Structure 1
Amino acid sequence: MTNNIDKTFMEAYQGLVDAATNITKQTTSIDESMKLFDEGMKDAELCSNILDEAEQKIEVYTNEEN
């Protein structure tokens, strides 16, 4: 697994989608589901942080133009 710091938004988003998809499979064990849930939460947090940072940059650029 890639270190979370090195993941791009799309990599983290895809990890979140993959985790959600695999958790819903009937063949996934409870232990594996918990591991996938944990990884998905980390990816969700990373996506949120990246979006927050992008929003802050947009606000700075917008305020500089005004």
Structure 2
Amino acid sequence: MSKLKITLVKSVIGSVPKNRAIIESMGFHKLNSSVVLPDNAATRGQIRRIAPYVKVEEVNE
């Protein structure tokens, strides 16, 4: 099963509160921090909502 490495590349100051909540729930704390999450429908949906704020790379295990 592949995983996604997601990096926060844009500040969430002034963003929509729902998008800010999604970013916090994914585990981001600071700008340029990265998290590795499973590649599933729920994660893809979250990424679609916060696409302007993140960079996504595929990581194979």
Tell me the TM-score normalized by structure 1: 0.29
Higher strand proportion (structure 1 or 2): 2
Query: Greater CA radius of gyration, 1 or 2?
Result: 1
- More RCO (CA 8 Å, sep 6+): 2
